[in-house]
Structure 1
Amino acid sequence: MDSIFARMQRREKDGTKRRLRYDLGLIDLASNDYLGLARSSTLSAFCQKALNRRREDDLHGFGSTGSRLMTGNHPEMERVEEFIAKSQGFESALLFSSGYMANVGALSSLPDEGETILYDAECHASLLDGIRLSKARAYPFRHNDLCHLKKRLSATACRKATYIVTESVFSTDGSTAPLKELDNLAASFGAGMIVDDAHGIGLFYEEGKNSLATLKTVVAATAGCGKALGVMGGVVLTTKRIREFLLNFGKTAIYSTALPLASLYAIEGAFSQLPFLEREREKLFSLIRLFQTGSRNLSMTAIQPVNVRGNEAAVKLQEQFKQSGFLVKALLSPTVRKNRECLRITLHAFNTEEEVKRALELLS
């Protein structure tokens, strides 16, 4: 117990203690609600209508009553999973209670003993936690460095199966993985890819489908539903065979209470809205271009980092934004590596050009 108090005291002393906050009345430049679906009246109406259709004698009330393999499964759950898979261009889908659980479930179970995981060094903590629980060997490659990855692949070519793990959009700095180049490299070595699409899903489309569905080597794409989809839950997009495997070996699917119908319908409603949000996507990317020009940032995603060395300086800049009416969040070490602290500004389709210009003035 003493170590618990000692660690908390260190956090308090160095200014890294995490606290829950609830900020009202500020301009949102912090949330992951990139397309505004979390505040959508259309999505709200969809959920209410779907819940009203529920049969009165349904076993599931406000809760799901158990895990999917016990009493938590429901015909509506499987219908929605089929809809999600089809809408994203995949063969099958499996829902989880969160994106974190989807990542841990997939990474801890798919790669087996004697196999190899090569993962981008900037991968999210949920991916790293899943990798740590896996029986496979795991080695990082430098962020988006194809040459380093090729060396890693060459060193593991004679072993059993190899998985390359990356993100479509990296949550800290908004950088994007060179997915087509990674796909070609994976194919040349007979490797498979597992891609976390949490911050890309809903934003990057090819002919109305998830762009990951067009890649040759993607074994599974994971995504949290709490970003551009604006709701909660997580999903693994994959094949029918791997979906069945995850229901047998993915512990976060086996031992977690299933999502209730209210959450299920919210997820369905969010996915059903994505094809009709082209105007929102166009607005968002116009604001991204505006911010990129004004700040000289390289990120062409909703995530716009402002590098600030040191936790104290990052918190100070966050408070300056708050005093000017903006909600932004500083990423502090140990969440990010020391001297990689930053102010993480996120843009949304509901922000205005004037708000973005005001934010840029604060940075000048």
Structure 2
Amino acid sequence: MSEGVMQADKPQVLDGEGTDLFSKFDDTIAMRANLLASGVEDPFSLVMEKVLSPTRAVCNGRDTILLGTYNYMGMTFDPEVIESGIQALRDFGTGTTGSRVLNGTYQGHKECEDALREFYGMDHAMVFSTGYQANLGIISTIAGKGDYVVLDIDSHASIWDGCAMGNAEIVPFKHNDITAMEKRLKRIPEGAGKLVVLEGVYSMLGDVAPLKEMVKIAKENGAMVLVDEAHSMGFIGENGRGVVEDAGVMDDVDLIIGTFSKSVGTVGGFCVSNHPKFEIMRLMCRPYVFTASLPPSVVATAATSIRKLMGAADKRANLWQSSRRLHGGLQDLGFTLGTDIPQSAIVAVIMPDLEKGAAMWSALLSEGLYVNLARPPATPANMTLLRCSLCAEHTAEEVETILGMFERAGKAVGII
């Protein structure tokens, strides 16, 4: 869900200067101050002084296991990926200094889109400067005033922002509730443009959408379907194409959104599609037209990484093994998790409240383990979570070490 802040009860009026526009953030400022006053390190300002590998970094001068980076397939230190970026940097320089529709399309951008088309078996691929911009751009461009967007209430901030920017009618439904989604669709006026937006894996709890059933219902009700596969690309599905592949609905989905900042191991976003009119998006999509394109070194690393992910079956198998072990081990220790069974590379550990969550986060960091502390309103049902994101490069020994760290920290803080 979208990151946000609580609204202050009353605006602060400054003598002779009008309203202080920052006063709306007072509740969040107070929350952060109270958290730091309790003696924990700021969980939202961690600095990695040196990154040693996809699974380790130096934080506060200490060798730390990384369990919160979304580096699912461990591609950030792949020698071939790094070398392709170095070569592109030498051949094409540091940046394009322009938009894709002007001077910002280099050979590397076309090769990156070629790699995406091959990876997904799709006719069209469009690369954006970030994954956020991909959702913002695609949704706001195809769903405008008078159209309807039916979306899961737990959708990512970029999805909500894309809906708002396009000025479409927003129709949310209860998380992963097939019946609720169908009811919303049937209430939309006949003849109106309809877009159903779903995510393959939801990033907070790591749970998977029932895409097979949802896509079928969307199509029966005349809606186009967009699926965000940010947290499943590279990992889920026989070829790593995501939940759409695993559910057998790739041919029924109109648009797939993804990011390079997770399994691909760099930065950027994309959309792939078989829609015959898709290429017009390059002229109509404002977040694509009015921003500088990705640097040549970035698209070179992305293209190399994507092609390597096509043959990464062993990495996928190791990641699933680690996910099952971590999930089961944490359950055995007595922690409450976001899902009953492992569904993805995300294992969410539910905390009693923000204070306990921050204390647990700090205790784990002292043990030499970094995880994500996620808090309301970004989390569903006002939960505080310690979000663990596994990597294909985590060894079985590291997973056992992680479980030991959770046990000691959990007992010290009083969680278990």
Decide: shared fold, TM above 0.5: yes
Task: Call closer, same or farther: CA 1:67–1:86 in 2, change over 3 Å.
Answer: same
1:314-325 equivalences under 5 Å are: 314-325=357-368
1:307 to 350, 358, 367: 350
Distance 1:86 1:114 in 2: 35
Residues 152-231 of structure 1: matches in 2 within 5 Å?
A: 152-156=184-188, 158-207=190-239, 209=241, 212=244, 214-231=249-266
Aligned partner of 2:143 in structure 1 is 111
- What is the 5 A alignment of 1:58-73? 60-73=92-105
Hey, what's the Cα distance between the residues in 1 that align with 2:77 and 2:107? 28
SS in 2 for 1:305: strand
1:309 maps to amino acid: P
Alpha-carbon offset, residue 135 of structure 1: 2.9
Q: Secondary structure at the match of 1:26?
A: strand
Verify the 8 A CA contact 2:371 2:387 in the aligned structure 1.
yes
Deviations 1:25-81 (A, max 9, x none): 2101111101111122232123334555x3xxxxx5321121011111223322321
Distance of 1:207 and 1:190 partners within structure 2:
29
Q: CA deviation at 1:208?
A: 6.2
Whether the aligned pair in 1 keeps the contact of 2:70 and 2:389 (CA below 8 Å) is yes
Q: 1:211 to 1:329 in 2, by over 3 A?
A: closer
Shift of 1:116: 1.1
TM-score (norm. length: structure 1): 0.91
| 1:48 lines up with 2:93 in the alignment | no
Corresponding residue for residue 6 of structure 1: 23
Once the two structures are overlaid, the 10-residue window that deviates more, 294-303 or 125-134, is 294-303
1:233 correspondence with 2:268: yes
Are residues 157 and 188 of structure 1, via their aligned partners in 2, closer, same or farther at CA, if it must alter by over 3 Å?
A: farther
Secondary structure at the aligned position of 1:71 is classed as coil
Pairwise CA distance, 1:9? 4.3
- Return the alpha-carbon distance in structure 2 between the equivalents of residues 65 and 73 of structure 1: 10
Stretches of 4+ aligned residues off by more than 6 angstroms: none
Report what 1:134 is aligned to. Answer: 166
| Equivalent in the alignment of 2:4 | none
SS at match of 1:319: helix
Q: Secondary structure at the match of 1:112?
A: coil
Q: How far did 1:184 drift?
A: 1.2
The residue type equivalent to 1:171 in the other structure is S
The one of 291, 297, 306 equivalent to 1:271 is 306
Tell me whether 351-360 or 287-296 shows the greater mean CA deviation: 351-360
The percentage of counterpart residues that share the same residue type is: 25
The question of 1:246 aligning with 2:281 is answered yes
Please give the alpha-carbon distance, in whole angstroms, between the structure 1 residues aligned to 2:368 and 2:135.
35
Query: Counterparts of 2:183 and 2:381 in 1: how far apart (Å)?
Result: 28
Cα separation, 1, equivalents of 2:306 and 2:155? 25
Cα contact 2:235–2:241 (8 A) shared by 1: no
Residue 122 of structure 2 corresponds to which residue in structure 1? 90
Q: Which residue of 2 aligns with 1:347?
A: 390
Provide the C-alpha distance between the structure 2 equivalents of 1:208 and 1:339, rounded to a whole number of angstroms.
32
Q: Distance in 2 between matches of 1:18 and 1:6?
A: 23
Change in 2 beyond 3 A, CA 1:211/1:325? closer
Structure 1 residues 301 and 207, CA, compared in 2 at 3 Å: closer, same or farther? closer
**Residue identity in the other structure for 1:193:** V
Q: Which amino acid aligns with 2:126?
A: L
Deviation at 1:196, TM superposition (A): 0.8
DSSP 3-state at the match of 1:87: helix
Q: 1:118 aligns to what SS in structure 2?
A: strand
Deviation at residue 241 of structure 1 after TM alignment? 3.9
Task: Output the amino acid matched with 1:271.
Answer: I
Structure 2 stretches of 5 or more lacking a match?
Answer: 1-17, 36-41, 49-57, 332-336, 411-415
Other structure's SS at 2:254 match: strand
> Is the Cα–Cα contact under 8 Å of residues 233 and 240 in structure 2 kept in the other structure?
no
| Larger relative contact order, structure 1 or 2 (CA cutoff 8 Å, min sep 6) | 1
Equivalent residue for 1:143? 175
**Counterpart residue number, 1:333:** 376
| Cα deviation digits, residues 124-144 of structure 1 (max 9, x gap) | 001100011113211101100
Distance in 1, Cα, partners of 2:242 & 2:391: 20
AA at the equivalent of 2:71: D
Q: Which residue in 2 is equivalent to 1:34?
A: 72
Contact 1:103 1:130 in 2 (8 A): yes
Contact 2:369–2:402 (8 Å) recurs in 1: no
Q: Which amino acid aligns with 2:330?
A: S
Kindly state the Cα deviation for residue 7 of structure 1 after the two structures are TM-superposed: 4.2
* SS of equivalent to 1:77: helix
TM-score, reference length from structure 2: 0.80
What SS class does the counterpart of residue 310 from structure 2 fall into? helix
When structure 1 is superposed on structure 2, of 336-345 and 253-262 the one drifting more is 336-345
2:76 aligned partner, one-letter code: A
Match 1:121 to one of 153, 163, 178? 153
Provide structure 1 residue ranges, at least 5 long, that are not aligned to the other structure. 55-59
User: What SS class does the counterpart of residue 223 from structure 1 fall into?
Assistant: strand
Instruction: Judge conservation of contact 2:260–2:302 (CA < 8 Å) in 1.
Output: yes
